[in-house]
């Protein structure tokens, strides 16, 4: 295989300088048959690399079927493929899924909820735990307020002028859920100049327990 520059020289020696095949081959250090083959071509065509096989090839149809039934993540696809005998890596599955994943259609109806109006709940299980001489199934209950998702995603959340207006019990409960939901998930900055003197006037007295101390 020759490069494009060598191809141009062959065409130049043969068509412009009128060199023979043997002379052209000698000038370029090529075999005369190679010069003869490329001299007949009108355009340069690079050799196409042979397609590489992948461990994922036998499992690509299954991956597509899974994506058509549910918007699984790449990690979930890997887990199901391993159950079917796939022993490749996560990266090749992730790259392939990103190219074949169906595009999401725009939402037909967008839902919006007020704070505390709706929540998403679900049950799940995570293996078993030993209890005495037996094994008990470990179940858990998950509840996430729909409105709270807006405040759980940012890496940094800033609550400015907290306490500018009095906060009732419902508002204080929602604030607590946001703070606890962001615990170890993102940074939180709270600014206020109205809580130092009399915090009970800004919050409902039944909603908070504050302790002040000093050295």
Instruction: Say whether pLDDT at 165 is over 80.
Output: no
Task: Let me know whether 155 and 196 are in one domain.
Answer: yes
- How many domains in the chain? 3
Distance (Å, whole) CA 197 – CA 212: 11
Domain assignment present for residue 65? The answer is: yes
What integer is the mean pLDDT of 177-191? 79
Type and span of the H or E element at 92:
helix 90-100
**How many beta carbons lie within 10 A of that of residue 163, not counting itself?**
19
At 60, list the tokens. Answer: 């690509």
More confident residue, 114 or 107: 114
Residue 120 lies in a domain: no
Q: Domain of residue 166: give its range.
A: 149-202
Closest CA to 200 of 169, 158, 154, 157: 169
Q: What is the pLDDT of residue 201?
A: 54
Q: Within this chain, do residues 61 and 35 fall inside the same structural domain, yes or no?
A: no
My answer on whether 28 and 61 are in the same domain is no
119: in domain: no
58-78 pLDDT, tens digit each = 999 999 999 988 888 898 999
Residue 110: inside a domain, yes or no? no
Is residue 75 a part of any domain in this protein?
Answer: yes
Is 125 among the domain residues? no
Residues 156 and 191 in one domain: yes
Inside any domain, residue 130: no
What local confidence, expressed as pLDDT, does residue 62 receive? 93
Q: Does a structural domain hold residue 137?
A: no
pTM across the whole model: 0.34
pLDDT score of 50 more than 60: yes
Residue 99: pLDDT band (50, 70, 90) is very high
Q: For 154, how many CA atoms within 13 A lie in the half-sphere containing its CB?
A: 12
- Contact between 162 and 196 under an 8 Å Cβ cutoff? The reply is no
């Amino acid at each position: 295989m020759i490069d494009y520059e060598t191809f141009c020289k062959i065409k130049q020696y043969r068509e412009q300088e009128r060199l023979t095949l043997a002379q052209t081959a000698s000038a370029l250090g090529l075999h005369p048959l190679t010069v003869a083959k490329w001299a007949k071509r009108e355009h340069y065509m690079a050799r196409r690399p042979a397609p590489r096989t992948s461990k994922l090839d036998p499992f690509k149809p299954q991956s597509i079927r899974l994506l058509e039934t549910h918007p699984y993540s790449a990690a979930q696809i890997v887990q199901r493929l391993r159950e079917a005998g796939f022993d490749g890596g996560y990266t090749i599955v992730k790259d392939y899924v990103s190219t074949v994943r169906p595009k999401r259609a725009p939402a037909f109806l967008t839902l919006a909820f007020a704070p505390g109006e709706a929540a998403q709940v679900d049950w799940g299980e995570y293996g078993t735990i030993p209890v005495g001489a037996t094994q008990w199934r470990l179940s858990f209950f998950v509840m996430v307020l729909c409105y709270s998702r807006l405040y759980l995603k940012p890496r940094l959340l800033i609550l400015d002028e907290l306490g500018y207006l009095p906060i009732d019990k419902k508002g204080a409960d929602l604030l607590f859920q946001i703070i606890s939901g962001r615990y170890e998930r993102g940074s939180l900055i709270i600014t206020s100049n109205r809580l130092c003197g009399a915090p009970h006037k800004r919050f409902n007295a039944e909603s908070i327990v504050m302790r002040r101390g000093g050295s």
